[in-house]
Amino acid sequence: MTIAIYLAHLNPVTKAHVEIIEELKEKNEVRVMPVVFINKDKEINSRSFPFEFELRKKMLQSVFGDSISILSNYSFYAPFAKYMPPLFSPFSWRIKKQILGGLTDDYFTYTGDKAEGFMLKLYGLNPRVGTRKTTSASFVKQKMFEAALGKDTDWENYVSPEVVKIIQENWDIVKKYAASKDCTYRVLGMKFPSNGFW
pLDDT tens-digit readout, 41-75: 999 999 999 999 999 999 999 999 999 999 999 99
Look at residue 43 in the predicted model and tell me its pLDDT: 97
Look at residue 149 in the predicted model and tell me its pLDDT: 97
In a 13 Å sphere around the CA of 131, the CA atoms on its Cβ side amount to 4
What amino acid occupies position 26? E
Contact between 33 and 58 (Cβ < 8 Å): no
pLDDT tens-digit readout, 160-175: 999 999 999 999 999 9
Q: For residue 183, is pLDDT > 80?
A: yes
Q: For residue 31, is pLDDT > 90?
A: yes
What's the rounded Cα separation, in Å, for the pair 186 and 180?
18
